Structure 1
């Protein structure tokens, strides 16, 4: 949880205002958008704002600006991001699922309450399971636990989290024999995995975006898959190109 002192520091570093969605290029048919922006490509402080489009096509800001943290390495365009650089991928992404160590706060997204057997895999030697949540560490699994995050080991940050669909695989299905999810079209194993909008820890992230636990829960309750939500992330100077 961000302290009052940390919140003041975040607001001091954050942009004065967020760009309205009308200036963004890649929203498609989205009627909900979360905008994450920072002052520069090297900044680890950012601001999160959220907007919803009315039936008349007008974008309305739905929450006050939220102080946030991003990757310790600043930002990198999603197409050129490299795993383990601590950069937050810049671009526009869908949001389709959520999880948390705590119970579902009331989101309409698909939500999994994780336990000690849940892992998020980032094993570069096993592309078919890369960047997937695995609900068990099966004895026949093909991925290494040393190359995966045991989600319950981060009860503060992963109290609640929305999955940002950066570098996600396609054609995902359950392999009964191996006891794991696999992808027909794997993600790019050099670009990184496990990019979430999650609750804040003590500082910057390894590439995710973090806001207070209360703010994550509020955003999850607001997000509606029927409104095809997207998240746009980039420094202020390049937000219109994200």
Structure 2
């Protein structure tokens, strides 16, 4: 489902708000965090080949406690679970679960990264931490053409990071999925509107990984992002459940 990005780019550029993403790495992109690929190929319950799936028919999404589980909408049939390694760690494992007649099935997993300073229950602009919580996934986009996304997809050069960012971030936003934290759902990920105010941050996305922590987003491989974009289905009301393991299970 394609959404044209030209008009959006004009509005964003005119406002001087090019890529006001919480994952904007402006000054360097690799300060803090880890460069080891977050233990590539690891899953929360042990080693496995990256991207491989398996059916488990789980009653609940693993390692997510009652507090966050209660915030997953009853009609949600897809969950992207982001298991942060620790409260101050940039390393994470990202797992896609889908709910069928027999329960939740684990479909895919990827090594990834979150905010370079870890996680927070009270995210603010510039804190370099990812917000803990359950957030809907309704809109996508990127520099690259739509790879077959079911979510509305904005194809626009406006996603290109500015030239003063570190070279290793140049392809971060080739594919993105907006996380509905302090944003207006149903709009392009480029929409700078912050309903709770600018101080609460925003522009939190799932996007392509550059090998270390972000400024608040969650990142995985290019192939992983392409898989997510083809899998996430608005008819299944997808959400992301994200946080460090202690807060997820609390």
Asked whether the 8 Å contact 1:68–1:209 carries over to 2, the reply is: yes
* 1:62 CA displacement: 1.2
Asked whether the 8 Å contact 2:146–2:153 carries over to 1, the reply is: yes
Aligned match of 2:32? none
Larger Rg: 1
1:43 to 89, 106, 111: 89
1:9 to 15, 39, 51: 39
Q: How does 1:38-187 map to 2 (within 5 A)?
A: 38-54=84-100, 56=101, 58-63=103-108, 65-77=109-121, 80-115=122-157, 118=158, 155-169=170-184, 186-187=195-196
Distance 2:221 2:116 in 1: 18
Structure 2 unmatched ranges of 5 or more? 1-34, 47-60
Moved more, 199-208 or 223-232: 199-208
Aligned match of 1:129? none
Distance 1:171 1:210 in 2: 22
Distance 1:182 1:83, change over 3 A: closer
The structure with the greater share of residues assigned to strand is 1
Asked whether the 8 Å contact 1:21–1:59 carries over to 2, the reply is: no
Distance 1:50 1:20, change over 3 A: farther
Q: What number of residue pairs does the alignment pair up?
A: 194
* 1:188 CA displacement: 2.3
Distance 1:119 1:53 in 2: 32
2:220 to 204, 211, 215: 211
TM-score (norm 2): 0.68
Asked whether the 8 Å contact 1:21–1:51 carries over to 2, the reply is: no
TM-score (norm 1): 0.70
Aligned match of 1:19? 62
Distance 1:68 1:46 in 2: 5
Asked whether the 8 Å contact 1:195–1:207 carries over to 2, the reply is: yes
